[in-house]
Amino acid sequence: MTQFKDLVFSGMQPTHSLHLGNYLGAMVNWVRMQDTHACIYCVVDLHAITMPQDPKALARNIREVAAAYIACGIDPQRSILFNQSRVHQHAELAWVFNCVARMGWMSRMTQFKEKAGKDRENASVGLFVYPTLMAADILLYRATAVPVGEDQKQHLELTRDIAQKFNNDFADTIAEAGFGEAFFPLPEPMIQGPATRVMSLRDGTKKMSKSDPSDYSRINLTDDADAIAQKVRKAKTDPEPLPSEAAGLSGRPEADNLVGIYAALKDVSRDAVLAEFGGANFSTFKAALVDVAVEKVAPITAEMRRLTADPGHIDAILASGAEKASVMAEETMKAVKEIVGFARA
């Protein structure tokens, strides 16, 4: 697949404000990737409405998530940053993919089953076809690498299946249009591993999540220093002092999580953290953790505040990103229309 240029695409839904799990698990990685790859980062608002949204809150969240991307270090000069609904070709390509993907494939998607719950008859049709829209997001730019969490692996496999079936089904017209053997690349997931997985502060066996009813389970990027200090102080622990090596954290999910967060914030290993804090009790360690967390999160929070105070500025950044994305998207859609056999003007 040497014909495809290296290109990274990823996105997050604007259904909530971001938390430390999003930052350490995904965003840090996205920011780094800007040094080595062309990157497109999207606020996937079309995906957000697969579940009911309050329109005013949605509009606010789109800007807030865009502000969080920028505050964390996504540079809109270097990378393309936009919200999905501004580039109509996402929906257009998703329709073509709805006609490529098979009912059987879609019915196996575990995230749909989880999100729809027991009342499947009442789930939106959009929720069911969510993964074809995700495939369209990625393949519209013919992206080759997609940094995502473990939970999105199945959607990436589906994306590859769709790309492959499209390439096979339309092999003749793809060749005639001069694209050789394959029009779409088979994008590779870059799975963000357990080393960067941040767990709930209330339960070290559950992922830190926006949907946890307890706000004490997570550190939000909008939390101020006091809130961070309180949440860390209340974080669940066990009665033992810290071990002196990472191996000693096994079977101690809460200790492992707090040490892991500290290590990720400092960009060092768990062993390095424990070389310093081995034998210490949690009150000592938590005080140090509050310091590094505040040191890292406070500037992000401040920058997000500055940015969200001027919604017009964020909108201008998103509009300019969308303009760049549209040029690439239109080029793909033009080819797709020719390949599929739609008459052109």
- Identity of the residue, 163 or 246, whose beta carbon is nearer to ligand TRP in the bound complex: 163
* 3 state DSSP class of 86: helix
User: How are strands ordered across the β-sheet holding 7-12?
Assistant: 80-83, 38-43, 7-12, 145-149, 188-192
- Identity of the residue, 200 or 237, whose beta carbon is nearer to ligand TRP in the bound complex: 200
CA separation for the pair 261, 244 (Å, rounded): 17
Cβ-in-10-Å burial (0-12, 13-18, 19+) of 21 comes to buried
Among the residues of the chain, which ranges form H helices? Answer: 20-22, 28-33, 45-48, 55-72, 89-98, 103-107, 110-116, 125-139, 153-169, 171-176, 225-234, 253-266, 270-277, 282-308, 311-340
CA separation for the pair 283, 285 (Å, rounded): 5
**Closest distance to ligand TRP from the beta carbon of 137 (Å):** 4
- Identity of the residue, 41 or 179, whose beta carbon is nearer to ligand TRP in the bound complex: 41
**Structure token digits, residue 243:** 């071990």
- Identity of the residue, 137 or 256, whose beta carbon is nearer to ligand TRP in the bound complex: 137
Q: Residues in the site for ligand TRP, rule: CB under 6 A?
A: 9-13, 44, 47, 134, 137-138, 146, 148, 152, 155
Cβ-in-10-Å burial (0-12, 13-18, 19+) of 331 comes to middle
The catalytic position among 5, 113, 115, 234 is 115
Among the residues of 140-223, which ranges form H helices? Answer: 153-169, 171-176
Question: 45 and 62 in contact (C-beta within 8 Å)?
Answer: yes
210 is a catalytic site residue? yes
**Closest distance to ligand TRP from the beta carbon of 146 (Å):** 5
- Identity of the residue, 143 or 201, whose beta carbon is nearer to ligand TRP in the bound complex: 143
118 is a catalytic site residue? no
**Closest distance to ligand TRP from the beta carbon of 300 (Å):** 20
Q: Which residue is it, tokens 């009813």?
A: 213
207 is a catalytic site residue? yes
Long-range contacts of 175-181 (CB under 8 A, 24+ apart): 177/335, 177/338, 177/339, 179/335, 179/339, 180/3
Helix axes 89-98, 125-139, angle to 10 degrees: 110
**Closest distance to ligand TRP from the beta carbon of 75 (Å):** 19
The catalytic position among 165, 210, 236, 337 is 210
The catalytic position among 207, 231, 286, 296 is 207
Sign of torsion, CA 128 129 135 137?
Answer: negative
How many CB atoms lie under 10 A from the CB of residue 341?
8
- Identity of the residue, 12 or 325, whose beta carbon is nearer to ligand TRP in the bound complex: 12
- Identity of the residue, 148 or 264, whose beta carbon is nearer to ligand TRP in the bound complex: 148
**Closest distance to ligand TRP from the beta carbon of 328 (Å):** 15
**Closest distance to ligand TRP from the beta carbon of 234 (Å):** 28
Please give the positions annotated as active site: 115, 207, 210
